[in-house]
Structure 1
Amino acid sequence: MSTYKADKPEWVRHAIESVCGQTYKDFIFLIIVDGSVPAATTAMLLDCAKRDSRLIIAQNSQNIGLAASMNLAIDWAVTQPAIKYFFRMDADDACMPERLEKQVDFLDKHQDVHVLGTGLTEVNESDTPVGARVMPASHDIIVRMLPRRCTLNHPTVAIRMNVFHDGFRYDARRLNTQDYFLWIDLAAQGYQFRNLREKLLRFRRVNDFYKRRGLTKSLNEFKARFVAMRKLHRYSVLNTFYALAVLGLRLMPSRIVKWAYKFDRILLEKIIKH
């Protein structure tokens, strides 16, 4: 997990407690502090580390971004032979108590799976559920849909460490959508994906969620869709039209983006059921 100065300390503490309270106990929890943070955040992190020896705090001298911070965590993890899986989450999310246990159990039983995501529950600033996001379960559908959408919920993924031993990393040059590009690269190389339909993470969807999906993110997603079409050999009229239509929608006012987001959830539910 990475945290930076804009993260609310109470949300970060909640995220940490959700990991430390897992039913699965044998893990190392590495938190990258990305640059300077408020004194309250530092005090809270040190207090949490004092209470739980599994917690490791590392701090960047300056803010370098999520992807670069995760790459630092990965570079450290590959030097630890005992680490089998790399789990992701964000500093304002919370894991369900059985998340690690269920994902570890699945990966232990399915040695051919390299990346495992789960469903999630979307919550607002008051922790009230406001939606859900469940992705397709099978590898074939996950990859087939990649030219149209990112088919894994990034904060929910567990990644087998051999993916990183093979040299793959997040693209730190990108300020967002780094996960989407990584999934495309892995799919093109034949790595296997799965999603559990259980909602094992509570994802924080704050009031400015739709506003933050601005031009840079929209253009990166647009580019990712065409990269996916090229690398996965899935050029089609439907995929091209979808990429253009989503870009157009994302550039519209936030209230329209909000409506489109809700409509997309309905479509995704129908795809999963069929």
Structure 2
Amino acid sequence: MKNISVLISLYEKESANYFDLSLKSLYHQTCPASEIILVLDGPITSSLQNIIDKWINILPIKTIPLSENQGLARALNAGLKHCQYDYIARMDTDDICTPNRFQSQIDFLEKNNDIDVVGTWISEIDENNQEIRPRVKFPLLHSELFSFFSKRDPLAHPTVMFRKRFFTKSGEYPTIIPMGEDTALWFYGFKNNCKFANIPIIGVNFRRTSDFYLRRANKEKTMKLLKYRVFKINKELGYGMSSNIYAFLYALLAISPTFVKKIIYKYFR
């Protein structure tokens, strides 16, 4: 059985109930994690600490406390330094892994030595763990992911499993684009010849709540990501004018009212 490091960031505003369900899904993996690197991004609530205390003697959790909140990218970079194993799986504290997620990704990577990072498809669930969408697909082959990236992210970040060499090639998570650290990481991965893939299984039940839409309503951060898309990603990867149009449309969606976002995500994602 292959060793896996799981990389998670936790901060004080996370739901203790969702966090509990997330860890429970790690417990039920058919290919269990060898270590769970849990970065505490600043002080956390007592309810979150209680969940850690509940699982710390059941799961191989190693907590990495940060003295203050530094944001997702810096927290993940801090955690990467503690990941011992070649396979590094990402996980968010409000999502739920399906039982065969890690085994499926390990099997794929073992058969495809050229692939540096592999994601999965997702299903979407709401606040009450009810399924909203049974399947959200992503492209499978590297060339398809590269083309897809001209429009939007080709991987669902909480589903990915990296080989450690991905970060040797790409560098760590960029910290210059808040709320866009994964987009920036994919850019540097493509730019530095990392090989990407997805596998056609549901690996994660992705939680889409009202907070999900509100987090994407920050105008300043949206404009930073738009500029980064147009003047950095699209320019350096050689995407055409259509990619800039998609970037502007995505920015408009990000700052639109929540009810508009819900309609777009439901029917056009």
Answer yes or no: same fold by TM over 0.5: yes
TM-score (norm 1): 0.89
Contact 1:86–1:161, Cα closer than 8 Å, also in 2:
yes
**Offset of 1:34 from its aligned partner?**
1.3
Matched, 1:58 2:75: no
**1:165 matched to which residue of 2?**
168
Q: Across the two proteins, how many residue pairs are aligned to each other?
A: 259
**Offset of 1:241 from its aligned partner?**
2.0
Bigger fraction of residues in strand: 2
More off after superposition, 193-202 vs 18-27: 18-27
Contact 1:135–1:152, Cα closer than 8 Å, also in 2:
yes
**2:44 matched to which residue of 1?**
37
**1:270 matched to which residue of 2?**
none
Contact 1:49–1:57, Cα closer than 8 Å, also in 2:
no
**2:268 matched to which residue of 1?**
264
**Offset of 1:93 from its aligned partner?**
0.6
Question: Alignment partner for residue 94 of structure 2, among 92, 95, 107?
Answer: 92
**Offset of 1:166 from its aligned partner?**
3.9
Matched to 1:222, the amino acid is L
C-alpha change, 1:148 and 1:99, in structure 2 (3 Å) is same
**Offset of 1:258 from its aligned partner?**
2.0
Aligned residue for 2:49, secondary structure, equals helix
C-alpha change, 1:142 and 1:191, in structure 2 (3 Å) is same
Aligned residue for 1:116, secondary structure, equals strand
Provide the C-alpha distance between the structure 1 equivalents of 2:224 and 2:137, rounded to a whole number of angstroms. Answer: 23
**Offset of 1:263 from its aligned partner?**
3.1
Contact 1:146–1:228, Cα closer than 8 Å, also in 2:
no
**Offset of 1:256 from its aligned partner?**
1.8
Provide the C-alpha distance between the structure 1 equivalents of 2:208 and 2:169, rounded to a whole number of angstroms. Answer: 34
Provide the C-alpha distance between the structure 1 equivalents of 2:54 and 2:256, rounded to a whole number of angstroms. Answer: 44
**2:184 matched to which residue of 1?**
181
**2:220 matched to which residue of 1?**
216
Provide the C-alpha distance between the structure 1 equivalents of 2:206 and 2:173, rounded to a whole number of angstroms. Answer: 21
Aligned residue for 2:162, secondary structure, equals strand
Question: Alignment partner for residue 128 of structure 1, among 130, 134, 142?
Answer: 130
Percent of paired sites with the same residue: 27
Contiguous gaps of at least 5 residues in structure 1:
266-274
Contact 2:170–2:192, Cα closer than 8 Å, also in 1:
no
C-alpha change, 1:138 and 1:61, in structure 2 (3 Å) is same
**2:156 matched to which residue of 1?**
153
Contiguous gaps of at least 5 residues in structure 2:
1-7
More off after superposition, 164-173 vs 22-31: 164-173
Provide the C-alpha distance between the structure 1 equivalents of 2:72 and 2:253, rounded to a whole number of angstroms. Answer: 26
Matched to 2:55, the amino acid is C
- C-alpha RMSD of the superposition: 1.6
**2:144 matched to which residue of 1?**
141
**2:4 matched to which residue of 1?**
none
Contact 2:170–2:189, Cα closer than 8 Å, also in 1:
no
Matched, 1:232 2:237: yes
TM-score (norm 2): 0.91
**Offset of 1:136 from its aligned partner?**
0.7
**2:248 matched to which residue of 1?**
244
Question: Alignment partner for residue 28 of structure 1, among 31, 35, 47?
Answer: 35
